[in-house]
Structure 1
């Protein structure tokens, strides 16, 4: 069967943006589209390095080609510094993207790119696409409520809630519409993305992207109607097509930057149903040594088995001696397991998992929701405070940690909150109801399924 058309997919260069766009790419490939997935050079190398042997060839066979362009930063520069990353890619990537598309066309052998499906955070790419006669669909990878607040910036400035630099003029709790999560003005995503002196870079990007998104013919997002009904009432043109998943068996690669430890799945198989505390803070969060130790000892205090994802760069400055003795204790009791990365979707789908101690990135939040897992929320930055408020205030499917006066979440707090979450039958019942709703949305006739069909019909034109 001839491909329906060639779609270029472009995520913002962060793990939490690559994953849902890779899931969407698999869905597009299932619908008969040919996809070119464009990462930055650095992320492309990470994705290739983390793929199982023959993974890239397998993706190509499915119709997904991996391509890359430079992000404008030098080799050793810190790509977790969002301000620096955004500043570099906004200036350097447009020229590189145009060159990549022109080179692909000149090489021939594949159909001409008809559509760009671009991350809203990469609004500059919509201008490049339009210049080359390519149609644009935009994709919002976070909570729709986060985009709604961004789109309301002019109104918030006009109402005197924000100044024209994006900083709050008043300390108050915002709620844009009934059913939307309340959010304190000190926790707006663009003011919590990194060092305050670089905040203007993020705020300018957000304001620019709000305007550039008008170039897109459609904006789809990884959410579902019932999860964020208040937002979709406010912005009916925003189409939720989630929760996205690459395949039902969770076997297809979704563009991880780190190789997955699959041994943890066998370890989970050996645990009692509903007993394990799963702990993971995504790809960006950093803990200092003191906080790391409090969390570790708190997990031990629960007396429950736990699976904890600790990236190699999670806690710079942690005593290796301390970590080694902690690992030894775990090995001798068999009570806990530490891995550097895992297939989170398969872990959360496992019947042994009792609760999810999470930074509340949107992908993690939806993956927990889709599996009916109760949350203990521990947000780190950006939009994660908003996601926490969905969990604690709107869906009521979990609780949040409370740091002490030094800003530290103590081991006693970890133990006590884990017990509260796991022991609360009402939280668990609400989580299961939300899971059932999420699953209904993506099945035939469900709201996300209908929106996805609308999206596919547009891309097929």
Structure 2
């Protein structure tokens, strides 16, 4: 018989450096680490995670040669392209070094990478290493991208305005209006290329999705038929992973102290995420809508999230005086703790997938104000499929006031809160032993372990008794 000497098998993670992408990747790594795998994280210099928050991981910085990354959609796509070009060579060097040190430092089982970091596939293919792609969005979002690609291929873009309210034939839960990019005008070539690249899993052996079967069953079934590789819906990862900090922005914990003084279910929490930007007019209308609603609120205003403004200097005169007794404004908050706080009764959100899952996991109903990308798809599901949210249809102060009152006090809001609490219970069941997400993660662990076993055979050390 042969034997293998050395450390635990190693999984290499390559996240994309935006908050909504890096958080689920680190959560996945933490769970895999608890299941017996060593974890190495290869990350860009831009938005790099803090190794002190994850002492059990090995961190390898990748040069990206980016002095910064703009958040406008097209500029971000150019940044993604630059990251893929600039990080490839060093990542290849890291992997060669890692393979040369096998098995003493642990066999490399596979590489799990964010699909936006597609240079990983080229390196892995060259080194004959298996890859698994992590998609941090919902399955429904991926299907919506596939549909845009098909519309473009069939020369149906631009679509007539009158069709926007029609249901998509192959995805009836969405309307054409709910696609992640407007289809009533020509779509820039760079975006079509991005959608096509993002929907392509290349040579990956499997797909991991931070979603649950109860949320995405129809879309998961369709994706399985399309890709014909194992798909592992293992979400919500934040409920399965040990608690640790994944925020790229310093959190203001005074918000929790403030919440401790508020009545149960009384506070509206407001945050538009880590990259969305609003204009000054929207900020002013939000402020007066909040003021006129008479509702207690915790408002995250991220620095530079208001176009042309550093922070809250554009708030209208008199707002802070009117709301001083019932409002709290911070630059960033520990969102998972905020949503779990008994004082929070509603969440005004951009409907990013991380925020969506975090809100549903705590049974908090939502007001949705989507800005771009998957946020539009998520909003449709939140409001019309899961029915735990209402969409903000007016950005004027009167419409904002009405939406806040509807969510926080009216019969409609109470019904959404009941549905949100039921969804919370169903998600909790899915991650418990025997639940769909629990079973899916068990299958994922076995799947990755099978790569390790193949590598063991390839690097077997003869036993002296042979």
TM-score by length of structure 1 reads: 0.85
Say whether the 8 Å CA contact 2:240–2:431 is kept in structure 1. Answer: no
Q: Compared with structure 1, are the counterparts of its residues 110 and 200 closer, same or farther at alpha carbon in structure 2 (3 Å cutoff)?
A: farther
Say whether the 8 Å CA contact 2:71–2:276 is kept in structure 1. Answer: no
20, 34, 37: which one aligns with 1:30 = 34
1:16 CA drift (Å): 0.8
Secondary structure of the corresponding residue to residue 189 of structure 1: coil
Spell out, residue by residue over 1:347-394, the C-alpha distance to the aligned partner (whole angstroms, 9 max, x if none): 111111111100000110111111111110000111111100001111
Residue in structure 2 matched with residue 239 of structure 1 by the alignment: 232
Distance across 1 between alignment mates of 2:312 and 2:337: 30
User: Is 1:12–2:16 an aligned residue pair?
Assistant: yes
Deviates more, 1:214-223 or 1:107-116: 107-116
Say whether the 8 Å CA contact 2:6–2:105 is kept in structure 1. Answer: no
Say whether the 8 Å CA contact 1:22–1:246 is kept in structure 2. Answer: no
Residue in structure 2 matched with residue 385 of structure 1 by the alignment: 376
| Cα RMSD (Å) | 2.8
295, 298, 310: which one aligns with 1:307 = 298
Which residues of structure 2 form unaligned runs of 5+? 225-229, 451-466
251, 261, 270: which one aligns with 2:252 = 261
Spell out, residue by residue over 1:321-359, the C-alpha distance to the aligned partner (whole angstroms, 9 max, x if none): 5549668527x8331111111211111111111111000
User: Is 1:183–2:175 an aligned residue pair?
Assistant: yes
Secondary structure of the corresponding residue to residue 215 of structure 1: coil
Q: Compared with structure 1, are the counterparts of its residues 2 and 355 closer, same or farther at alpha carbon in structure 2 (3 Å cutoff)?
A: farther
1:174 CA drift (Å): 4.1
Distance across 2 between alignment mates of 1:96 and 1:219: 25
Higher CA-based Rg: 2
1:88 CA drift (Å): 1.5
209, 229, 252: which one aligns with 1:221 = 209
TM-score by length of structure 2 reads: 0.85
1:25 CA drift (Å): 1.1
Distance across 2 between alignment mates of 1:11 and 1:315: 27
Distance across 1 between alignment mates of 2:264 and 2:129: 50
1:149 CA drift (Å): 2.4
Residue in structure 2 matched with residue 450 of structure 1 by the alignment: 439
User: Is 1:341–2:332 an aligned residue pair?
Assistant: yes
Residue in structure 2 matched with residue 53 of structure 1 by the alignment: none
Q: Compared with structure 1, are the counterparts of its residues 321 and 241 closer, same or farther at alpha carbon in structure 2 (3 Å cutoff)?
A: closer
Say whether the 8 Å CA contact 1:277–1:356 is kept in structure 2. Answer: yes
Say whether the 8 Å CA contact 1:177–1:230 is kept in structure 2. Answer: no
Secondary structure of the corresponding residue to residue 460 of structure 1: helix
Residue in structure 2 matched with residue 52 of structure 1 by the alignment: none
Say whether the 8 Å CA contact 1:190–1:199 is kept in structure 2. Answer: no
Which residues of structure 1 form unaligned runs of 5+? 49-55, 404-408
User: Is 1:329–2:321 an aligned residue pair?
Assistant: yes
User: Is 1:272–2:266 an aligned residue pair?
Assistant: no
Deviates more, 1:82-91 or 1:431-440: 82-91
1:7-406 to 2 correspondences below 5 Å:
7-44=11-48, 47-48=49-50, 56-57=51-52, 59-60=54-55, 62=56, 64-73=57-66, 75-76=67-68, 78=70, 80=72, 81-105=75-99, 110-153=105-148, 155-157=150-152, 160-162=155-157, 168=159, 171-172=163-164, 173-175=166-168, 177=170, 181-185=173-177, 188-189=179-180, 199-211=188-200, 213-236=201-224, 237-245=230-238, 251-254=243-246, 256-318=247-309, 321-323=313-315, 328-329=320-321, 333-403=324-394
Say whether the 8 Å CA contact 1:10–1:119 is kept in structure 2. Answer: yes
Distance across 1 between alignment mates of 2:332 and 2:441: 30
Residue in structure 2 matched with residue 406 of structure 1 by the alignment: none
Say whether the 8 Å CA contact 2:260–2:343 is kept in structure 1. Answer: yes
Distance across 1 between alignment mates of 2:159 and 2:85: 28
Residue in structure 1 matched with residue 427 of structure 2 by the alignment: 438
1:147 CA drift (Å): 0.9
1:30 CA drift (Å): 1.1
Say whether the 8 Å CA contact 1:191–1:382 is kept in structure 2. Answer: no
| Number of aligned residue pairs | 431
User: Is 1:415–2:401 an aligned residue pair?
Assistant: yes
Q: Compared with structure 1, are the counterparts of its residues 204 and 15 closer, same or farther at alpha carbon in structure 2 (3 Å cutoff)?
A: same
Residue in structure 2 matched with residue 51 of structure 1 by the alignment: none
Secondary structure of the corresponding residue to residue 245 of structure 1: helix
Spell out, residue by residue over 1:3-35, the C-alpha distance to the aligned partner (whole angstroms, 9 max, x if none): 541111112221110111111111111112111
Spell out, residue by residue over 1:13-70, the C-alpha distance to the aligned partner (whole angstroms, 9 max, x if none): 21110111111111111112111122210211xx33xxxxxxx34622x3x1222212
